[in-house]
Amino acid sequence: MDDATGEELQSALRAAEAVFIRKKIHPLKGMEGRCQLEGWDDRGCVEDDPDYTDEDARNALAWIDAEEAAILVLSKNRSFFEVSPVFEMTVVEIKEGSPANTLPVAANSEIDLRTRKAA
């Protein structure tokens, strides 16, 4: 979000992280599920699509819930007019244990705050 402070970004990160912990889903699995959801949507949302499983759906929902948790933290002290209607959550890196084990990744997910749907 424009003009977000470092402290606000850290709070948003903790909020998103808490969702993944609560749902017991690794953020990378959430990101993969979100990507699978986009593919399923591109293919016409066929009900029995073998390339979009129930596990993909659970992982995608975890990603979307984490994203919304971060959005709510970032928009908490802002007026409606200060909040961008479209947000993007990006995985920059995930540290496993120590800085030597940093796994860089990149993924994007956009959500329209007004409709709560993917943009």
Q: Would you list the DSSP string of 60-85?
A: HHHHHHHHHHHHHHHHTTS-GGGS-S
- Phi then psi dihedrals of residue 24, to 5 deg: 55, 45
Report the C-alpha gap between 81 and 95 in whole angstroms.
35
Per-residue pLDDT of the chain (119 residues; tens, 9 = 90+): 667 788 888 888 889 889 999 999 888 899 899 989 988 888 888 888 888 899 999 999 999 999 889 888 888 877 766 666 666 666 655 555 533 233 333 334 444 444 444 44
83 and 71 Cβ atoms separated by less than 8 Å: no
